[in-house]
């Protein structure tokens, strides 16, 4: 089931400029290790935040790297002497500062950030949530009071 839900995201990531887009799993850990000469990734962004994705994030991050948990999936990051790697910083930001917001707005105005947003009127909110649950929304779903 995970593969079915993740596959459209891989295609979207490649279309938006990702160098690599891998399915989550044990093979992915080995692939990332191979791509980084066994050092691991300098930056890991966990956009899901479940136990399996956090476990994988800790395994693919490198020493002195950075792991950011963005997803609100309710998982727990395994922390022990070797996980995450030594001196790897971990952050779970919920929002940024006003300065960071202004930087993001500037990047969006310069079209350096591509956003995928599907808009739904308030009366279709249940349908939007079902589509999100089914993995059929690419990007974000925004529900507005007016159509």
Instruction: Tell me if 89 is assigned to some domain.
Output: yes
- Structural domain contains residue 112: no
| CATH number, residue 11 | 3.40.50.720
pTM: 0.68
Contact 3, 23 (CB under 8 A): yes
pLDDT in tens, 114-134: 888 899 999 999 999 899 888
**Number of structural domains, the chain?**
1
Report the alpha-carbon angle 10-14-20, nearest 5: 80
Q: Is residue 119 part of a domain?
A: no
Q: Tell me if 38 is assigned to some domain.
A: yes
The pLDDT, as a whole number, for residue 119 is: 92
| 49, part of any domain | yes
In-domain check, residue 135: no
Average pLDDT over the chain, rounded to whole?
Answer: 86
Range of the domain at 43: 2-97
């Amino acid at each position: 089931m995970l593969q079915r839900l993740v596959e459209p995201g891989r295609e979207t990531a490649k279309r938006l400029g990702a160098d690599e887009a891998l399915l989550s799993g044990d093979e992915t850990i080995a692939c990332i290790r191979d791509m980084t000469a066994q050092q691991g990734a300098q930056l890991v962004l966990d956009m899901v935040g479940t136990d399996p994705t956090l476990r994988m994030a800790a395994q693919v991050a490198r020493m002195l790297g950075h792991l950011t948990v963005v997803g609100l999936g309710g998982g727990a990051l395994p922390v022990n002497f070797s996980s995450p790697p030594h001196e790897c910083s971990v952050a779970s930001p919920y929002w940024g500062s006003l300065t960071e917001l202004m930087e993001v707005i500037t990047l969006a105005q310069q079209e350096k950030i591509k956003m995928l947003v599907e808009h739904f009127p308030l009366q279709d909110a249940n349908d939007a949530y079902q589509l999100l649950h089914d993995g059929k929304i690419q990007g974000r779903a925004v529900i507005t009071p007016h159509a």
